Amino acid sequence: MSDALAELQRQLADIEREARSTLHSIARESELVPIRAGVLGKKGVLSPLLAALGKLDGSARPAAGALINVTKLALEVLFEEARLRLVQQAIETRVATERVDVTLPGRRSEIGATHPVQQVMDDLVDLLGQFGFDLTDGPEVETEDYNFNLLNMPASHPARDMQDTFYLQNGLVAGLLMRTQTSPVQVRTMLSQKPPVRIIAPGKVFRCDADATHSPVFHQIEGLWIDTDVTMADLKGTLTHFLRTLYGDDRPVRFRPSFFPFTEPSVEVDVWTGTRWMEVLGAGMVHPNVLRNVGYDPEEVQGFAFGLGVDRLAMIRYGITDIRYLWENDARFLRQFVAGGAV
């Protein structure tokens, strides 16, 4: 072998060794491209050797060309092997790091839970639905007519005092207020529907009042049952059965004579909390004036109405002593009710 060929072979061997060690040291497929260009590309280290072929003796040229080609092929194989190895490594790394550990507890964001008052409200609506009452509702902003006048509440009634009612300042409509009770839904329903009527209307009500058992925003469920032969016995029977279903037969419950402008006679119902009586609802036989106000004939139809205090019932259900706990939104307090339980 001529000196020139021996020298070429030495150079090719160097190039191959160099390429091998570089390929061993890299970790990513993307690093391959510039390295490959530096060896096999037009400006790579093999190019000058190929260019130099022309300067060789005619007799040495084929052997030199063959040597370069063999090395070039070997290098191409090396690069392809390296590429496959790096792709494989990348897959293995991903499989190892992205493996799903099925023994880990499930990850999810905290989605919260139904507020205890809403839980009680939902349960009461469900139960009253089973008693045959249809669900309806009305607006929280009311007129004086629906909230008071048509309910036989004259302007002189103490509940109409500014201290109890949040009036709205509105240049367009006079006498708008935040409803102080769900009873206006009775009027709205009777004005839009002929008897028989048997509805419940749950919702928020508003009064300018705050202490341990009064909150400026609280919840009521209004009930109304009008038909040709609904009597006070139906009122007592329905509400007693309702409260017994809620609290069990042995929970003391009492009916007290009371006064509401829109019922006659009227009662209030208390439940024994274990330490004291708590008023949970007002009720009565719908006043003939109210029936007349909505175009019903009190000689033909009559019935009873009731208004449940949902927040009070929630306090009894959960043994909560101060209504304000329900609205402070202390998550430690609210979390205790996540599982729900019997009403």
Rounded distance between C-alpha atoms, residue 106 and residue 267, angstroms: 53
User: In terms of CB distance, is 202 or 307 closer to ligand DAH?
Assistant: 307
Q: Which is nearer to ligand DAH, 144 or 222 (CB)?
A: 222
Residue 112 or 298: which CB sits closer to ligand DAH? 298
According to the 3-state scheme, what is the secondary structure of the chain? Answer: CCHHHHHHHHHHHHHHHHHHHHHHHCCCHHHHHHHHHHHHCCCCCHHHHHHHHHHCCCCCHHHHHHHHHHHHHHHHHHHHHHHHHHHHHHHHHHHHHCCCCCCCCCCCCCCCCCCHHHHHHHHHHHHHHHCCCEECCCCCEEEHHHHCHHHCCCCCCHHHCCCCCCECCCCCCCCEEECCCCCHHHHHHHHHCCCCEEEEEEEEEECCCCECCECCEEEEEEEEEEECCCCHHHHHHHHHHHHHHHHCCCCCEEEEEEEECCEEEEEEEEEECCCCEEEEEEEEEECHHHHHHCCCCCCCCEEEEEEEEHHHHHHHHHCCCCCCHHHHCCHHHHHHHCCCCCC
Least distance (Å) between residue 111 CB and ligand DAH: 34
Minimum CB distance to ligand DAH, residue 202 (Å): 13
Q: At its nearest, how many Å lie between ligand DAH and the CB of residue 330? A: 28
Cβ distance to ligand DAH smaller for residue 83 or 157: 157
Closest by alpha carbon to 268, among 278, 279, 277?
Answer: 279
Q: CA-CA distance, 288 to 291, in Å (whole number)?
A: 5
Contact positions toward ligand DAH, by CB under 6 A?
181, 183, 222, 260, 263, 282-284, 305-307
- Looking at the Cβ atoms of 72 and 207, the one nearer to ligand DAH is 207
CB of 287 to ligand DAH, least distance (A): 9
The residue among 78 and 201 lying less far from ligand DAH, judged by its C-beta, is 201
Task: Please name the residue that has the structure tokens 């109890």.
Answer: 164
Return d(Cα 138, Cα 188) in angstroms, integer.
Answer: 8
- Identify which of residues 75 and 153 has a Cβ nearer to ligand DAH in the complex: 153
At its nearest, how many Å lie between ligand DAH and the CB of residue 336?
A: 29
Cα-based distances in Å from 179 to 11, 63, 168, 182, 185: 97, 105, 11, 7, 10
Measured from the CB atom, the residue of 6 and 135 that comes closer to ligand DAH is 135
Least Å distance between CB 297 and ligand DAH? 20
CB of 305 to ligand DAH, least distance (A): 3
The H-or-E segment that residue 159 falls in is none
Q: How far is the CB of 260 from ligand DAH (least distance, A)?
A: 4
Q: Please say which residue, 12 or 224, places its beta carbon nearer to ligand DAH.
A: 224
| Min CB(319)–ligand DAH separation in Å | 24
